[in-house]
Amino acid sequence: MKILVTGGSGFVGYRLCEHFISGGHDVEYTYLSHDCSIPGAQGKKLDVSESKQVSALSVGKYDAIIHCAALANVDLCEKDHALARRHNVDATDNMLLLAKGQDAVFVYVSTSHVFPASASNRAYTEDDIPSLSLAPNYYGRTKLEGEILVRGSGIPYLVLRIDQPYYWKKEWHKDNTVTRTIAKLQAGGTATEVVDWFNCPTFVPAFCELALKLLSRGKQGVFNAAGPDYVSRFDWAVKVAEIFGHPKESVLPVSAASFNLSAARPNILLDSGRAYSVAGVEHVGLDSGLRQMQKEWGRGETGA
Ligand SMILES: NC(=O)c1ccc[n+]([C@@H]2O[C@H](COP(=O)([O-])OP(=O)(O)OC[C@H]3O[C@@H](n4cnc5c(N)ncnc54)[C@H](OP(=O)(O)O)[C@@H]3O)[C@@H](O)[C@H]2O)c1
């Protein structure tokens, strides 16, 4: 397949590119401010919120367009609605227009934040239809607007909702709970994580395999694509400490109320079993994901 990945310089997009390349696919990616090089792929600078720049791309013929680029900083989205709308809604519209011209499958990487907090820990499945009026924060609202544009576009699509993606990061990527905890504990300090934020952490290599398998099997539609566990950030960090050989007491609990953040962080339980089963891909839980990372660490990975 000839695949275009927007946001290939981003934390998730970078690994998607690597995975598609290792599967023998022809990959092009875009970046905005981080001119990174991804061996085996061709990168180009592109602001996906600029319709003229996007339409100029249509010289190539893509089988799939993976739209990963977004403003994923929830607090910045809350503070600057216009910016969030430009990067998350207008940009999606631009990319959909391009996909229509290319006859390509459109893969939209979305988020659990399209839903409000789970009531009584009830899991959301793909049968639950999120509503704009209930979006928990502005980021979630703009990502849901993007989903709605994709669903109404009339072209073949996959919407894949993830939550707290984790794996090794490149220097320019922001930390995730795993890399942050490892970096703090390796430096001999303590790590602090929130006890009352719950997530379904998504192991990025499993997500990349899921995306490729769904595409190559010709599957379409909306899928929850997060990990199988529902844990607090604190319990997650304690697991990291244990698996990477640090005392669990080196992780200290903190409550969300001690931060003064702009955006709400709802506790959202996603049932993502359907996607992994349809794709025939292992739904990798925290223990397995962290153990794989620990082995890679032993082989010299320094991504924290
Ligand atoms: N991280 C999470 O916790 C999380 C959770 C759920 C869903 N998601 C979704 O997963 C996807 C990937 O997120 P991520 O964690 O990989 O985010 P990230 O590391 O912040 O990467 C964002 C990517 O988007 C690019 N980008 C942003 N605005 C752009 C624009 N106007 N034009 C072109 N490129 C632009 C960035 O380019 P430069 O870096 O080159 O500027 C970067 O490649 C997003 O769609 C996000 O909504 C993320």
- Give the confidence band of 298 by pLDDT, cuts at 50, 70, 90: confident
Taking the C-alpha atoms of residue 265 and residue 269, their distance in angstroms, rounded to an integer, is 12
Q: Is the model's pTM score more than 0.95?
A: yes
Which long-range contacts does 77-85 make (Cβ < 8 Å, 24+ apart)?
77/137, 77/138, 77/139, 77/142, 77/263, 78/137, 78/138, 78/139, 78/262, 78/263, 79/262, 81/138, 84/138, 84/139, 84/142, 85/142, 85/145
**Ligand 1 neighbour 47 (Cβ under 6 A):** yes
pLDDT at position 88 over 60: yes
Q: 73: CA distance to ligand 1 center in Å?
A: 8
- Give the confidence band of 304 by pLDDT, cuts at 50, 70, 90: low
- Cβ atoms < 10 Å from Cβ of 294: 15
pLDDT at position 59 over 80: no
- Helix or strand (DSSP H, E) at 30: strand 26-31
**Ligand 1 neighbour 68 (Cβ under 6 A):** yes
| Mean predicted confidence (pLDDT) in 21-32 | 97
Spatial CA neighbour of 7 closest among 62, 52, 44, 55 = 44
Mean pLDDT of the chain: 96
Of residues 43 and 264, more confidently modeled: 43
Length of the chain: 304
- Give the confidence band of 103 by pLDDT, cuts at 50, 70, 90: confident
- 177-186 and 286-298 are packed helices; what angle lies between their axes, rounded to 10 degrees? 50
What is the atom index within ligand 1 of the atom nearest the CA of 174? 19
| Mean predicted confidence (pLDDT) in 295-304 | 76
**Ligand 1 neighbour 140 (Cβ under 6 A):** no
| Mean predicted confidence (pLDDT) in 170-185 | 96
**Ligand 1 neighbour 222 (Cβ under 6 A):** no
Tell whether the torsion through CA atoms of 236, 240, 243 and 246 is positive or negative: negative
Q: 159: CA distance to ligand 1 center in Å?
A: 15
Taking the C-alpha atoms of residue 259 and residue 111, their distance in angstroms, rounded to an integer, is 22
Domains of the chain: 2-168+202-229+268-284 (3.40.50.720)
Instruction: Kindly report, residue by residue over 104-118, the tens digit of the pLDDT.
Output: 999 999 999 999 999
- In a 3-state reduction of DSSP, which class is residue 93? helix
Of the chain, the percentage scoring pLDDT greater than 90 comes to 91
Residue minimizing CA distance to atom 7 of ligand 1:
111
Q: 20: CA distance to ligand 1 center in Å?
A: 18
pLDDT at position 256 over 60: yes
Spatial CA neighbour of 227 closest among 283, 178, 168, 293 = 283
Dihedral of the alpha carbons of 37, 42, 48, 54, in degrees to the nearest 10:
160
| Mean predicted confidence (pLDDT) in 177-201 | 96
| Cα distance from N-terminal residue to C-terminal residue, the chain | 32
Q: 140: CA distance to ligand 1 center in Å?
A: 14
Instruction: Kindly report, residue by residue over 261-282, the tens digit of the pLDDT.
Output: 999 899 999 999 999 999 999 9
Q: 10: CA distance to ligand 1 center in Å?
A: 5
Phi and psi at residue 217, to the nearest 5°: -90, 5
pLDDT confidence of residue 18? 98
- Helix or strand (DSSP H, E) at 232: strand 231-232
| Mean predicted confidence (pLDDT) in 219-227 | 98
| Mean predicted confidence (pLDDT) in 232-251 | 97
